[in-house]
C-alpha cells in the first residue's frame, strides 16, 4: 500500500519541502511525514502535484518512459490559430530538442479557477485566451517554452490532471490523501 496525496500547488510555491532562500514550500501546506513529490511543477505554475511515500509509484508518475499524460489549462497572450495548434502537436524546436504536445485545444470559455495572487495584469488578460495542452513528457518549463516558441507567452499555467488523477474540487493549498494498492 502506498500513500498518494493530490495537492493544489499555489502560485509561487516550490515543489519541495525546503528552500535556502526562504520561499514558500510544500512544508507550509503538507504535514505528512515520508512523502515526496512525484515530479515537479514550476514555482510560477499552479495546480495538481502528486506526492507519495512509495518510490516505485513516484517513478511511474515522474519518469518520462512511462508516458503518463499531463493536462494543463494555459492562459496565453493572443489567440492560437489552428495552424499554430497543429505546429505544437507536430513539434517545436527547443534548445533541448523537438518537443510536441499530444493534443492542443482552444477553450471556448475561460475555465473557472480560484483567483491568483497576484492576478494576471488586466492589460495582459484583456488580450489573452485559454488553451488546453496535453503532454506525455515533462521537460523543464516545457509548456511555457513551447508556447513562447510559437509566439504566445504564458500568462497563467494550471495543471489539472496527471494520468488518472484530477485536480477536482481542490482549492489552492488544499490536499487529499488516499491509499493505493500497488501490484508488486
Q: Provide the annotated active-site residues.
A: 42
Which residues share a beta bridge with 175?
A: 7
Pairing of β 2-9 and β 70-77: unpaired
Contact 135, 88 (CB under 8 A): no
Please give the backbone phi and psi of residue 134, each rounded to the nearest 5 degrees, phi first.
Answer: -115, 130
- Determine the 3-state secondary structure of 84 from DSSP: helix
The set of residues, in sequence order, having a beta carbon less than 8 Å from that of 8 and lying 6+ positions away, is 46, 47, 48, 49, 167, 170, 171, 172, 173, 174, 175
**How many other CB atoms are found less than 10 A from the CB of residue 143?**
24
Alpha carbons 7 and 48: distance in angstroms, whole number: 6
CB 68 within 8 A of CB 38: no
The span from the first CA to the last CA of the chain, in angstroms, equals: 10
Amino acid at each position: 500500500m502506498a500513500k498518494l496525496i493530490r495537492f493544489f500547488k499555489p502560485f509561487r510555491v516550490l515543489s519541495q519541502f525546503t528552500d535556502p532562500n526562504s520561499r514558500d514550500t510544500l512544508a507550509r501546506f503538507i504535514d505528512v511525514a515520508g512523502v515526496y513529490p512525484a515530479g515537479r511543477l514550476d514555482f510560477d505554475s499552479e495546480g495538481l502535484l502528486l506526492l507519495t511515500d512509495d518510490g516505485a509509484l513516484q517513478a511511474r508518475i515522474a519518469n518520462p518512459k512511462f508516458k503518463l499524460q499531463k493536462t494543463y489549462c494555459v492562459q496565453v497572450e493572443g489567440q492560437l490559430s489552428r495552424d499554430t495548434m497543429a505546429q505544437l502537436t507536430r513539434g517545436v524546436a527547443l534548445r533541448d530538442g523537438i518537443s510536441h504536445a499530444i493534443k492542443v485545444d482552444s477553450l471556448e470559455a475561460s475555465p473557472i479557477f480560484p483567483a491568483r495572487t497576484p492576478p494576471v495584469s488586466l492589460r495582459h488578460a484583456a488580450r489573452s485566451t485559454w488553451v488546453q495542452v496535453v503532454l506525455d513528457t515533462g521537460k523543464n518549463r516545457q509548456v511555457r517554452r513551447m508556447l513562447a516558441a510559437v509566439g504566445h507567452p504564458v500568462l497563467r499555467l494550471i495543471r489539472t490532471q496527471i494520468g488518472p488523477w484530477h485536480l477536482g474540487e481542490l482549492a489552492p493549498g488544499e490536499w487529499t490523501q488516499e491509499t493505493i494498492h500497488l501490484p508488486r
